[in-house]
């Protein structure tokens, strides 16, 4: 009888240890996925900061063209300000929204520049455009990497049994970057204006 109690006690202890290890493992997987997502977000912020740092130079270079549309320049500087304000808080959704607004304003600026061949011919503008093109590529890669980390994190948070542990430990699904409505349409360049 004593051997039966020992075996039963050892079995219960073994089950408790296995459950504890399973919970620790699930928690550590959630933490790892969260940290990977946070690191990817920091890379996005770094690339956007690089872009933000280049925008004043671009605006100054373009502003030198007397007839350039001031409305476009104001939209770019306003979008830049909104990004800086959003990045000072802890509101990732606000940062993503302001980043998308900045993308849109910068795209409009670059499309509008096409109508000014004398501006495009200056060395300063060409150098700046090379820097911006490189930065845009870095932003695209950082956003793609961030979205991939968000996808991995969300899979862990939403799949069974991870969803149970995510709920217990307070982990929730995150959202990544999405294309704007109409992004599949190429912008129209009109030189008639």
Whether 136 and 69 have beta carbons less than 8 Å apart is answered as no
Instruction: Note whether residue 35 is domain-resident.
Output: yes
More confident residue, 80 or 89: 80
pLDDT band at 71 (very low <50, low <70, confident <90, very high): confident
Q: Is residue 27 part of a domain?
A: yes
* Number of neighbouring beta carbons within 10 Å of residue 102: 24
Look up the domain containing 56 and give its range. 2-169
With cut-offs at 50, 70 and 90, classify the pLDDT of residue 17: very high
- The pLDDT confidence band at residue 188, using thresholds 50, 70 and 90, is low
96 part of a folded domain: yes
pTM of the model: 0.77
Number of folded domains that form the chain:
1
Q: What is the mean pLDDT of residues 5-30?
A: 95
Check pLDDT > 50 for residue 191. Answer: no
Which residue from 14, 59, 31, 13 is spatially nearest to 156, judged by alpha carbons? 31
**CA–CA distance from 170 to each of 23, 38, 158, 163 (Å)?**
14, 16, 12, 10
Q: Is 184 domain-assigned? A: no
pLDDT at 136 over 80: yes
pLDDT beyond 70 at 106: yes
Q: Is residue 189 over pLDDT 60?
A: no
Report the CATH number at residue 56: 1.20.1440.20
Residue 187 belongs to some domain of the structure: no
Q: What mean pLDDT do residues 57-79 have? A: 78
In a domain, 175, yes or no: no
| 123 found inside a domain | yes
Query: Does 66 fall in a domain?
Result: yes
With 70 as the cut, is the pLDDT of residue 187 above it?
A: no
> 111-144 burial by CB neighbour count: b if 16+ within 10 A, else e?
ebbebbeebeeeeebeebeebbeebbebbeebbe
């Amino acid at each position: 009888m004593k051997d039966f109690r020992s075996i039963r006690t050892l079995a219960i202890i073994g089950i408790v240890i296995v459950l504890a290890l399973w919970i620790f493992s699930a928690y550590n997987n959630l933490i790892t996925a969260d940290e990977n997502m946070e690191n990817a977000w920091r890379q996005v912020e770094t690339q956007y900061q690089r872009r933000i740092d280049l925008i004043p130079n671009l605006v100054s270079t373009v502003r030198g063209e007397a007839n350039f549309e001031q409305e476009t320049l104001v939209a770019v500087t306003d979008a830049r300000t909104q990004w800086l304000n959003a990045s000072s808080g802890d509101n990732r959704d606000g940062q993503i929204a302001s980043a998308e607004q900045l993308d849109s304003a910068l795209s409009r600026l670059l499309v509008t520049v096409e109508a000014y061949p004398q501006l495009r011919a200056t060395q300063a503008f060409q150098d700046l455009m090379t820097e911006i093109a490189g930065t845009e590529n870095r932003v695209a890669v950082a956003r793609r990497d961030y979205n991939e980390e968000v996808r991995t994190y969300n899979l862990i948070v939403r799949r069974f049994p991870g969803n149970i542990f995510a709920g217990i430990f307070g982990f929730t699904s995150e959202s990544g970057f999405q294309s704007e409505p109409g992004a599949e349409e190429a912008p129209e360049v009109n030189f008639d204006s």
